[in-house]
Structure formats: C-alpha cells, structure tokens
Structure 1
C-alpha cells in the first residue's frame, strides 16, 4: 500500500482510531498561546500538555507556532493543518497520540506582521519559548549581545507585539521560558529589560508592570525523528505524518505559579504548578543535562553513536553515576519529598532505553551554551565545599577533543573561536583560555589558572 497521497490532515483525522487522538473540536478553539521555537521538543512536551488540557475540557488554548530559523517545520505541519503524532517508545512498545493543539505555524521573516498581530491579539495570553540556549542571544558573560539580538530575535518580536498591546489597551502576557537555562524566567526578564533599555524604556516599564516571567523546568528526551520512525508510525496509523516526533514515556513540567492572566489547566494533566522551581531545575540541569553532555562527548570519544550504547559501557556508566550521585547531587538543595538517589536511578534507566535511538552528536551540539549551567555551576559549588569533580573533568577533556574535530564538524555558535583555541593548545592550555581570568566562557567556576593547569595536565 502506498501512503504518499494519504497525508495526515483534518480531512483524514477520522482514519485515526479514537484512542490515538483528541476529541475536542479544533475549529472552535481560539489561539491563546504564541510559541517561539516549534521544534520537536515543544511538540512532544508543552504542546502535548496543552492538547491534553483542551481534551480534558479546557478550551481556547490553541497554539500559534513561530519558527525564527527555518521554514522546515512549517513545511511539515502546514499541509497537515498543524496535526502531528507523538510516538512514546519504551521497551514495552510504542504508544501513538495525534496532537491537535497547534493551529498554525508562522515563519520569520515571511510572516513577520502576522507574528506581531498574534502577539497583540486579545485572545493571546501566553508567549512561550523553546529557542535553545543560543536563542537568548547572550554574550560570554551572560549579558545581552546586541549584535545577535536584532531584527528577528525573540526580543524584536516581543517588543513589537507588546508595544501594540500597550497601544491597544490590552493586558500584558505571561512570558514563559521553557529552555534549559538556570532561572530561565529571570534570565528572560533581565535580557528583555536590557533590550528595552536600549530601544524603548517606556515600553520596558509597561512590561515590568504588566507581564510576568515564570521559571520552569522541562524534562522529556526527544531524539531527532528519522525516516525509519516516520515509516513505523505510518504503518500503524495508516496515514503519512511528516511532522511526527518520537519520545520516551516519561515527562515532567514544573512551572512557577506566576501568571499575568489566564492559563491552561496544565496541572490537571500532569504538570506541577509550584512556588519555587529551583530545586527541580537545579537537579535536572546538573544531574540529567550534565550527565547527558558527559555521555555525549565521552561516548563519541569511545566510538558510540547512541545514548543507550554509551550508558551500556560499564566504564562510562560508572563515570556518569559518579557525576550524578557524587558531584551533582550534593550541590542541590532539595524540595520536600524530592529524592535525588531515586532520580539518579530513574535517569540511568531512561538513558538505557534502546527504543529511543537518541544520538550523542545531537546532545553534543552547542556545548558552549550548555556547559555553564550543566558543569561549571556544579564545579564551582563543589570547589567552595572542598570537593573534586573528576567525572566532569574527564567529560571536559572529551569536549576539548570534540572541539578539535575528533567527531566531525563542530556545531556551536562560538565554533570558529573555540575550534581555533582547542586545535592549537593542550588540554591544560585550552582550559586556561576558556575558563581562566579573561577566558571565553562565563566566569562561573572561580578556579585559578594554576589549578586549571594541574587539573587538565
């Protein structure tokens, strides 16, 4: 049977079994969320939660997805009326769910005016973001990089959309960062404030009074979808889905209770609305993300392709366990009932899931944007406590090898400078150039150059 003319769409939704799709009427849902960065993670996480909330009876929270870098997602979703499949994979099998939360996808710069109109619509109450660490346009010291935060950045669109809301007498928005940045809501607030200070100080004052910036912790492993994945999904659903995403059955979303107006009832479908996200966020960044980055560079160095292969290596598993349990966990101030030993055990099991086929090279992208919160903060917390971090140091050395091109071309916003430094220096010299006084990376890890020489020699 051929499926090329049988693409998933509103018209063909009836071909999908009722147990694998939502039950609400999409045509009657107003767009309440504008989301920047409608990649695979958002579709498997925030949009999935929103779809479930609407299916449970909470209405008018359809999503307008915005792509700032590429029209590929629009090309996948638009012919499908925004519909796509989430495939949850475990050793027990695959569970499919067609998600209907996304109503439209707009692309920069083609749909610039439409994006601004969506942000300034009275139906819109939330602007959310999964633009990855580099989408926040930060300099090495964490401040706003004005050269990158120009036309087409989230700051450009937010200020133009919010200025229209102000002009029209509308309420502010909840600005919801869903990226792996420590204290992500506060960072977005600080960076947007800096942008407004340079471009429109009066608007900045209005934003400070009328908008909120909740912190969040997001957690779900979402590998890149392959052609084989799409074929498998097509054979089950009997319709072709070019926008399908593959993920694990585990998911977690912790959101600070700090909203500027209405919001979906996400807590009714598994999200946690809390007064303080920090304990969950810190554990995730330092234990899960820190271990993931370590596995990426150490696993690639050892010749592996996938996460489950790397964690299956006894030596690498031992290093990852050491990083999570002995180096990261002691630096986390836990919330009531938060068990870090149980969390570490669950992470190892998730990493070992062979059904995901999560590529190490995907995790290894953009290391310069990830390492500060994944490794450097752990290193600094342990330094002040008088403890060593040999597992993170081993991972750092593997990252240096990655920068030298051992795993192929380096994909990183600072690639040119990083590869130039790494290629002409030893590990110890590279560490000093990156983390020493005046180095390229944020000065989070307050260790002397002499100590860096000793650690990396």
Structure 2
C-alpha cells in the first residue's frame, strides 16, 4: 500500500515545527504563470511569492507549466500543489510547506490549454526558468537561432508550439484578439542581461511571425532583468525517504536548498507585481552589476569546481572544497581573476561576498553534485567564464584558474574522467564537442586551437589570442598527464592565495 501523499488534508497533522500555509488556499487566485516549474523556481521565486500571499496578497497565485515532461506535474497535482522546501546547512534543517502553486500544466500534452492559461485576464506576470538552452539562441551572439528545431517547428505550427517563445507569442496573440493587455515577462535564468536577451529573442521571433503583432507586443510587454541566487541541488530518493519520516506523509515534490537566497529585480512591471521586496528581494533600476558579480564569481567558480572536481572523482562541491588545493583554487579565482572583471556597486562589499561564497560551497548538508552543475556547459561557459577571460586578457591579468577550468571542461566533454571511467555528458552540443576531442586527442596545441575556434561557444575572437592558445595547450597537457587534481596542485604551488 502506497503511503499517504502530502496534500491539503494532511496539513493539520504535520509536526508543529514545520511551517505551513496559514491562509485559506481556496481564496488564492492566479496572477503568475511560471514556465519551467523545476526545483529552482520552487525554492526561489515561489518561496518569495508564498511570503506575499501569506501577507494577504491573495491575487498572486502561481500556475506552473512544464515545457518538456510530466514529471513535476505528476509530483505536484496529486499534492494540491503543495511541497516542502527544506533548507539545509551545517547547523541543521528547516522545513516549510509552500502553498503558492495551484495548477500545473504540461505543454507538450496540450499547448492550446497552456496558451489559454497564459491568455487569462488575471495573469499579469509570466516568469521563466527554462535554462539557457530554452531561449533557442546562439550563446555566443545572444541572438535568436532561427534554425533551432523548436523555432522551425513553431513557425510552421503556431497552434502547437514547442518552445517558450512560441507559447508566449501564441498567448499574446490571443490576448490581442480578445482586447486584453499583454503581461510582464520575467526571466529568472542565470544569463547576463536576461531581460534584454528575452526581449531580443522574442522580438526577433515575432518578426518572423507577424510584423503587426510584433509592434503590439513591443508596446504591451516588458522584460525586466533579474539576478537570482540560491543553491538548489537535485532532490534524491534518499531525500524523499527522509522527508517521509519527518512529515509523516510522502512528498514527491520536496525541494532541497541552502538557507541563503538573493533576488535582485529591475522594477519595470506594466501591470502590477507582488511586493517581493517585503519578502527580501531588492528592486533596482539596473540589475547588471549584481548579475555580473553573481555569474562571474559564484557561477563561474561553481562550474570550475564542478568540472575539475568531477574529473578528480569528487561527488559534491563540499567534497571538492575539502581538498585544500581546490579550496585555494576557488579563492585564487575569486580574488585574482573574477573580482577584477565586474563592476562593484558602491555599497557592495566584494571581499565579504567572496568569503561568503567559500562558506556556501563548504555546506556539507546540501550535497550539490558536481555532475548536476556540469550539465549544459556549452550554454553556460560563455556567460560564466568568457567575459572574465576576455577582460583579463585585455588587461593583462591572471588567467591561470580560468584556463585550467577550460582544460578540465574540454577533458570532461571528451567523456572520460581521470580514472578512465566514462562520463555521461549532458550537453546539447555533446556530440560536436566529443568529435573535436577525438579528432585532436594526440595534439594538445591542435586541441586548444580547435576548441577556441568553435564559434558556437567561443565566438570568433579568442582563437586569435596567442597567449590563451599556449596557456590552454599547456594546461590540457597537465590535466592529461597528472589529472585535474594534479594540475590544480601544480598551479597552486606557484600562485598566490
């Protein structure tokens, strides 16, 4: 017999130390549709929104949508949208049941039903966490990729769209036809200038659909940028089993997270918004400085530790940080490479931020897997590393850690780790990247040139930098001969910090 699932009927019987909705969920009406309702959204934006609903802003309920599979819907719908947010730290665990999410739709099952939800008059915000690849863009240029299979499909089949852009444009067309206003589009993905990117690819897509509709959308939507920050590892079956013991019922949608959370948002909402600032978010005129700090320091360091640590056989980021050479590598990267490549707001303490990052990476309770962070590297590296790399090359600054990170990533996409074991590489360009590795595996200089000349990731400029080519070839050789850990130790013996 299956255990009782968490749902509305179970709330009264939960242990008293577990926070839960104290409001009447039947009185909540939707104001937000969120595309890509994965773990990060549920641990971040939905958590902030839960705070505002509990404070009486009952017209900002969330309708979730999965763009690929039914997994999250099958977790949440039997639970009346309820799930546990579990904050884990070295000091202990805190559990809160979140009630902000109402219904959940699966786009591939019925795109028309989801577009109808998006076209409801009460929906004023459409937020997104669809990952970098969900924008169907060229990461190197930031423009729409009109040859992307989903874009080609949606242009030919506008009533059955697959992409977020196709769904959004289809819904906005319905709203226009019905005399309704548009909505604010709120990207919450880890991309530089994510609002500008979303606005740009949306405009480029709709120009291919209908120029009159394009003009209407430009006048009836806004795309404010955001910076989001919270470490949210994938929930495991072990986590769910432990939660069952704590809750007294089964929560298939439980989400694990660190206690830290940050959300910086450009205040450009056309049709209202929750008072997320009263829940701890920060509204600003321009989010760029904050997002660059986060992307280039936190995300850049995270990816560096993930690729090098995975190759060396470490399962989690905390495991990687327990090795002194990796901890020193993180500190070196943060202080001597990433910090110099970001604008720092006048009231922002960059040294304290670096120290806080190291502490967050050392959170043993979180178990953030290196393999999870390493996913989709070809889409992340342009934002997380290459801006810093270009800045450091231009200024003649240190590139040691960045080049070692690139060498580890190249070794990673070759699909073999330092122990000779196969790697399951999850990346939309995995086949092309593996082919580059296989074609040049005996010549590190040629391998470095081939990757730096791979325009979908590196653009057209870095392949001409002789300093970078030589440094990358050298590090590829060190990683190949001594493994990632050996290369990190060798570098740290000659570097400050």
TM over 0.5: yes
Aligned pairs for 1:247-266 (under 5 A) are 247-266=257-276
2:323 and 2:333 map into 1 onto residues whose CA distance is: 15
1:435 and 1:388 map into 2 onto residues whose CA distance is: 18
> Which residue of the partner structure matches residue 489 of structure 2?
none
Aligned pairs for 1:89-238 (under 5 A) are 89-139=88-138, 140-146=140-146, 147=148, 148-149=150-151, 150=154, 151-238=161-248
Deviation at 1:445, TM superposition (A): 5.6
SS in 2 for 1:369: helix
Equivalent residue in structure 2 for 1:337, among 342, 347, 352: 347
SS in 2 for 1:441: helix
SS in 2 for 1:440: helix
> Which residue of the partner structure matches residue 287 of structure 1?
297
Aligned pairs for 1:296-445 (under 5 A) are 296-407=306-417, 408-425=423-440, 426-436=443-453, 439-443=455-459
Bigger CA drift: 383-392 or 157-166? 383-392
SS in 2 for 1:321: helix
SS in 2 for 1:166: helix
1:305 and 1:24 map into 2 onto residues whose CA distance is: 40
Deviation at 1:152, TM superposition (A): 0.9
Deviation at 1:203, TM superposition (A): 1.3
Contact 2:68 2:108 in 1 (8 A): no
> Which residue of the partner structure matches residue 9 of structure 2?
11
2:444 and 2:231 map into 1 onto residues whose CA distance is: 31
Deviation at 1:141, TM superposition (A): 3.4
Contact 1:87 1:97 in 2 (8 A): yes
2:114 and 2:470 map into 1 onto residues whose CA distance is: 52
Contact 2:84 2:253 in 1 (8 A): yes
Bigger CA drift: 132-141 or 60-69? 132-141
2:95 and 2:448 map into 1 onto residues whose CA distance is: 46
SS in 2 for 1:356: coil
Contact 1:433 1:440 in 2 (8 A): no
1:132 and 1:74 map into 2 onto residues whose CA distance is: 18
1:444 and 1:283 map into 2 onto residues whose CA distance is: 25
| CA deviation vs aligned residue, 1:351-389 (integer Å, no higher than 9, x gap) | 000000110000000000000010000001111212131
Contact 2:69 2:108 in 1 (8 A): no
Deviation at 1:444, TM superposition (A): 7.2
2:367 and 2:278 map into 1 onto residues whose CA distance is: 31
> Which residue of the partner structure matches residue 455 of structure 1?
471
| CA deviation vs aligned residue, 1:39-59 (integer Å, no higher than 9, x gap) | 000010011111111112211
1:168 and 1:142 map into 2 onto residues whose CA distance is: 33
Q: Give the aligned CA root-mean-square deviation in angstroms.
A: 1.5
SS in 1 for 2:37: coil
With the length of structure 2 as denominator, give the TM-score of the two structures: 0.89
Contact 2:381 2:457 in 1 (8 A): no
Residues 1:159 and 1:312: Cα distance change in structure 2 (over 3 Å): same
Aligned pairs for 1:16-35 (under 5 A) are 16-17=14-15, 19-35=18-34
Deviation at 1:142, TM superposition (A): 2.8
Give the number of aligned pairs: 454
> Which residue of the partner structure matches residue 43 of structure 1?
42
Contact 1:234 1:241 in 2 (8 A): yes
1:136 and 1:333 map into 2 onto residues whose CA distance is: 26
SS in 2 for 1:96: strand
Instruction: List gaps (5 residues or longer) in structure 1.
Output: none
1:355 and 1:428 map into 2 onto residues whose CA distance is: 41
1:369 and 1:415 map into 2 onto residues whose CA distance is: 11
Runs of 4+ in structure 1 displaced over 6 angstroms?
none
Instruction: List gaps (5 residues or longer) in structure 2.
Output: 155-160, 418-422, 474-497
With the length of structure 1 as denominator, give the TM-score of the two structures: 0.96
1:453 and 1:262 map into 2 onto residues whose CA distance is: 50
Aligned pairs for 1:264-275 (under 5 A) are 264-275=274-285
